[in-house]
Structure 1
Amino acid sequence: MAGLLETVDSRTQLAGKNRLELLLFRFGDKQLYGINVFKVREILKCPAMSRLPGSHPVVCGVANVRGKSISIIDLAQATGLRALRDHENAFVIITEYNGRTQGFLVSEVEHIVNLNWDGIHPPPRSSGRHSYLTAVTNVNGALVEIIDVEKVLNEISPVSEQLSDGVLNAEVRQQASLFKVLIVDDSSVARRQVSRCLQAVGVQVLTCNDGRQALSVLNEMLADGKQPSRELLMMISDIEMPEMDGYTLTAEIRSNHRMSGLHIVLHTSLSGAFNEAMVNKVGADEFLAKFRPDELASLVTTRIQQFALDTPFNYSCACAK
């Protein structure tokens, strides 16, 4: 228990400071790729795998890792590159996304670097809308590409975006169109998922690709004499984003008394023991794991019902534009 608490404490030191630790790896050539250390559970030599009939082409097989069956994904092949053939000398990075554990097959694992999120940038527009990159950075003069793992996993095992019967309250549904929600996420897949869910609820949706862009939108509201807490029902933000992460975005908002009342939900694929400590540290209102459409829709509808109690004015006019 002491070791866990020490790990939580050391990791939370990054919260609100716009920093991350990146594990670097390769697919057999000179190009470096990166993955947030928060997502990594273990790194091991490629174990023996059993191929399952009917599995997705990029799933190499299933391996038994510490008594648990884990799917091993050829991350190179999944992103449109040549499949890795030399499994014997390859490594597997065991990761956890959205509460699901899987392994990514890579040819080499380099080292961990500690970076500032403002040194992580969106991929160049020339990479195209179908690119598997979510960000790029530079480490010791070498370009590092950060893969949109959420896109990869969604293509292998799509998450249902359908809301269950009874989730939407008819009365709230009628009021929902009067409200706006700001969505902040660097993953195009995640933005679409959240947007479709909220559009099903009936609220108006604004989207930003990273924390710095979102903070700019909020500051523009202030410049126009508007209070973000009255213009927006809430902000739903990812944590891992280039330029400015969700922790730092939350801390910036809380430090400005003119926007500090904005309701903030951190919506992330980060899992494990660190989330509650991180969310509490930066002052977010709620944490929600990706992607659970019923829980997300319920959270928004509950907030609509509570909005009149949270604001000293006529909420029915609050977000109407």
Structure 2
Amino acid sequence: MATLLDSVDQRTQLVGENRLELLIFRLHTGQLFAINVFKVKEVVKLPKLNMLPGSHPNISGVANIRGASIPVIDLRRAIGMSGGSEASERNIIITEYNRTVQAFMVGEVMNIVNLTWRDIQPPPEQVGKNNYLTAITKVQRDGMDRLVSIIDVEKVLADIVNYNVRISVGVLDTAILNHFDGRKVLIVDDSSTARAQMRETLTQLGLTVIEAHNGRKALELLKRWCDEGKNVTDEILMMFTDAEMPEMDGYKLTHEIRGDSRMHTLHIALNTSLSGSFNEAMVKKVGCDRFISKFQPDLLVEVVQDRLRDVLGTS
């Protein structure tokens, strides 16, 4: 535990730095791609795969890694890339998202870069809504700036796994259900897939959902309400924020909110595909009220119901 807390202290003692680490790789072309190192468990050479008849076409097979069976997703195919050379170097990046472990088959795995979230920008609007990117950035390589595309892994996984947004029987508290009418929540997430999943769940309660694509946009909205003389806690019941976002991450967003006396009491839940005790410790350190690992519709509903009970004084 001491090692864990030391690591948390190192990463959050200057939480305003708003930094991240990216693993850079190729998909058998010269183009560079990346995912956040936080989600990477291991990188290994592509092992022999066992085929699974009837599986999704984006799954190349199952790898046996130290006794664990891990599905391997052909990332190149999953994001709709065509052409390019079939390079001899093939690796798998083993990751953990939403409490599940899976691997992505890629080409050359290059290096890890340390950046600030201010260096990370949303994809240009001209690329359309169906792209598989959450953000883009630039890195120095061979003496020049190279564009890096950051993969929207949640969208890749949602194409394979049909996430259910149905609320289980017995989860809804009928005693308070009518009190949701007219109330709003703010969702902050750079993944359109994640926002859609949350929106489809929460609107079943009668809530109105306001969306922001990253922490900076959310903070601008909250500050605008404050400047207009509005009480943020009157405007929204609570805020759900992702951890990783371009320009400003969820930790920095929470830090900024807690430091502003006009809105420091806002109820904040970190809703992220990053899981484990490290992230829970990060949440406590930066001042979030709850931590939810994506995607759990029943837990999402329980969190907003708990918050509403607090507001109504019926806890």
The yes-or-no answer on 1:302 pairing with 2:306 is yes
Q: Output the CA distance in 2 between the equivalents of 1:139 and 1:46.
A: 26
- 1:249 to partner: Cα distance: 0.2
Match of 1:223 among 214, 221, 227: 227
Do 1:84 and 1:107's aligned partners in 2 also have CA atoms closer than 8 Å?
no
**What secondary structure does 2:277 align onto?**
coil
Structure 2 segments unaligned to the other structure (5+ residues) = none
Structure 1 segments unaligned to the other structure (5+ residues) = 311-321
Q: Output the CA distance in 2 between the equivalents of 1:4 and 1:83.
A: 44
The yes-or-no answer on 1:234 pairing with 2:238 is yes
Q: Which residue is 2:218 aligned to?
A: 214
Q: Which residue is 1:250 aligned to?
A: 254
Q: Which residue is 2:95 aligned to?
A: 95
Give the AA of the match of 2:275: S
**What secondary structure does 1:274 align onto?**
helix
Further displaced range: 21-30 or 227-236: 227-236
Give the AA of the match of 1:76: R
Give the AA of the match of 2:122: P
Aligned pairs, how many?
310
- Once the two structures are superposed, residues 33-90 of structure 1 have per-residue CA deviations (whole angstroms, 9 ceiling, x without a partner) of 0100000000011111101100111111101111100001110100001389858630
Matches within 5 A, 1:117-196: 117-140=117-140, 141-196=145-200
Task: Using structure 2 for the length normalisation, give the TM-score.
Answer: 0.94
Q: Output the CA distance in 2 between the equivalents of 1:7 and 1:169.
A: 39
The yes-or-no answer on 1:259 pairing with 2:263 is yes
Q: Which residue is 2:45 aligned to?
A: 45
**What secondary structure does 2:55 align onto?**
coil
Q: Output the CA distance in 2 between the equivalents of 1:280 and 1:23.
A: 26
- Once the two structures are superposed, residues 187-211 of structure 1 have per-residue CA deviations (whole angstroms, 9 ceiling, x without a partner) of 0011111111110111111111000
- 1:10 to partner: Cα distance: 3.9
What is the CA RMSD across the aligned residues, in angstroms?
1.8
The percent identity for this pair of structures is: 52
Give the AA of the match of 2:242: D
Q: Which residue is 1:18 aligned to?
A: 18
Q: Output the CA distance in 2 between the equivalents of 1:282 and 1:302.
A: 21
Q: Which residue is 1:77 aligned to?
A: 77
Give the AA of the match of 1:69: S
Do 1:250 and 1:284's aligned partners in 2 also have CA atoms closer than 8 Å?
yes
Assess, with a 3 A threshold, how the Cα gap between structure 1 residues 294 and 87 changes in structure 2: closer, same or farther: farther
Give the AA of the match of 1:248: K
Q: Which residue is 2:297 aligned to?
A: 293
Q: Output the CA distance in 1 between the equivalents of 2:149 and 2:120.
A: 10
Further displaced range: 11-20 or 156-165: 11-20
Give the AA of the match of 2:235: E
Q: Output the CA distance in 2 between the equivalents of 1:84 and 1:162.
A: 40
Task: Using structure 1 for the length normalisation, give the TM-score.
Answer: 0.92
